[in-house]
Amino acid sequence: MSAKLKTLYAREILNSRAIPTIEAVAILEDGSTTYEALELIDNDPNRHLGKGVLTAISHINTEIAQKLIGVDYGSLAEIDETLIKLDGTPNKSRLGANAVIAVSMSMAKAIAISTKMPLYRYVAAIAQNNQPLFIPAPLFNMINGGKHGAGNLDFQEFHVIPNMRHSYSAALETGATIYQTIKKILIRRGAIHSVGDEGGFAPNLFTNLDALEVLSEAIKEQNHQVGSDVELGLDVAANTIYKDGRYVIKDRSSPLETMEFIDYLKDLNTQYHLRILEDPLAEDDWKGWTTITSTLGATLTVVGDDLLVTNPERVKKGIAEKACNSILIKPNQIGTITETIAVTNQARAAGWKIVVSHRSGDTNDPFIADFAVGVGAEYAKFGAPDRGERVAKYNRLLSIETELKTT
């Protein structure tokens, strides 16, 4: 799986939030070509309201390209190690973590093309995933709250999770049908039915229970059973509701202590049969995380995102503290594909489930869908079945499902 780079360059494009991002182009000596788009912000106040990416583009087009072009690398790991050493900082702040991941992802795709392997199989190979490949269960973010919505709902994401007992394609159809039914319910109620950052609706509902009731109603209208045919999930994004050591939500008239908030979440689980509970507590509330996982972890998946940020040291502590039983994986949080795979395998070795996630500001590139299949993720979180940058990833999983059936 060696690779010799002929050309590497980058240009500025827009992501789904109308914010500039990088498109990196890698061409190998054998002509294999790939394009990779990644969100990057360089904080120049004179361009795009401070969201321009010209500094990172310059790093790719000059320093990184000069280092990589013409060298015959034996593996993606060697390329990524070169990028890490070239940057020379613990957090890739010199070149920019997003510039580094853009190049790493481009090279992964180019090598896969060069070796005539589907990208998901190439990812599986470098992840040393020898298990039969499968399609992860989709987490459809049907209602966007918190920072992703209109600001009136506390929790950031309200998920619908169709059962995968039949096939991914059947689950996708179920999700799409429920999505359309949610829209009809919101219209029927006279509620706003515009969409948020991730394609889910951002209605003028006012409590978390309101949102869960809308989802439950939509599921039942399609003759599905909540908790068996279709399950629910939440991304609480608890950092955003954690004020002065307590949790502030509209469902309660006064702030809640950690144990009171855990009891509230336990009640939600009893009532709505949750499958996923992401970031249920603030990232530094380690005792609370351990408590909620020991209490609910046997029946649902407690996912660490802000708690872990795809960081091996945070993951190590999370494992030691038994703080959660699942990790949210975002390649851009750590900076290279091989580092991301290492963290994924670290979590897997601890018996954790893997949730591979998109970004709120994303592009139409479906790389992350192949990555999710390659590392054997149990869940894929790509937003709602709406908006092109979200649908591109779900549709890519459809294509992979077909390929897996015929190979």
What are 187-205's pLDDT values in tens digits?
999 988 888 878 899 998 9
At residue 372, the pLDDT reads: 98
**Was 36 annotated as part of a binding site?**
no
Q: What is the pLDDT of residue 38?
A: 46
Is 59 annotated among the ligand-binding residues?
A: no
Q: How far is CA 174 from CA 83, 235, 332, in A?
A: 42, 21, 30
The residue from 23, 36, 39, 198 that is catalytic is 198
Amino acid at 374: G
- Number of Cβ within 10 Å of residue 387's Cβ equals 18
Q: DSSP 3-state assignment of 69? A: strand
Residue-range domain boundaries for the chain? 3-116, 137-406
Given the candidates 3.30.390.10, 3.90.209.20, 3.40.50.1000, 3.20.20.220, the CATH classification of the domain at 3-116 is 3.30.390.10
pLDDT at position 37 is 42
- Whether residue 16 has pLDDT greater than 80: no
**Cα–Cα distance for residue pair 404/402, rounded to 1 Å:** 6
Does the pLDDT at position 390 exceed 70?
Answer: yes
d(CA 54, CA 12): 7
Single-letter amino acid code for the residue at 325:
N
Is 278 annotated as a binding-site member? yes
Q: Which of 112-121, 193-202, 348-357 has the lowest mean pLDDT?
A: 193-202
Mean pLDDT of the chain: 90
User: Is residue 157 a known part of a binding site?
Assistant: yes
Architecture of domain 137-406: Alpha-Beta Barrel (3.20)
What DSSP line would sit under 232-290, residue for residue?
EEEE--GGGGEETTEE--TTSSS-B-HHHHHHHHHHHHHHH-EEEEES-S-TT-HHHHH
Ramachandran angles phi, psi of 233, nearest 5°: -145, 160
Q: Specify the pLDDT at position 30.
A: 61
- pLDDT confidence bin for 1, thresholds 50/70/90: low
Q: Would you say 237 and 146 are in contact if contact means Cβ atoms under 8 Å apart? A: yes
Is 360 annotated to bind a ligand? Reply is yes
The one catalytic residue among 51, 183, 330, 353: 330
pLDDT of residue 393 exceeding 50 = yes
Specify whether 220 is catalytic. Answer: no
Chain segment 302-349, per-residue pLDDT in tens: 999 999 988 899 999 999 999 999 999 998 888 899 999 999 999 999
The CA distance from 232 to 109, in Å, is 34
Is 243 annotated as catalytic? no
Instruction: Look at residue 383 in the predicted model and tell me its pLDDT.
Output: 93
pLDDT class for 35, splitting at 50, 70, 90? very low
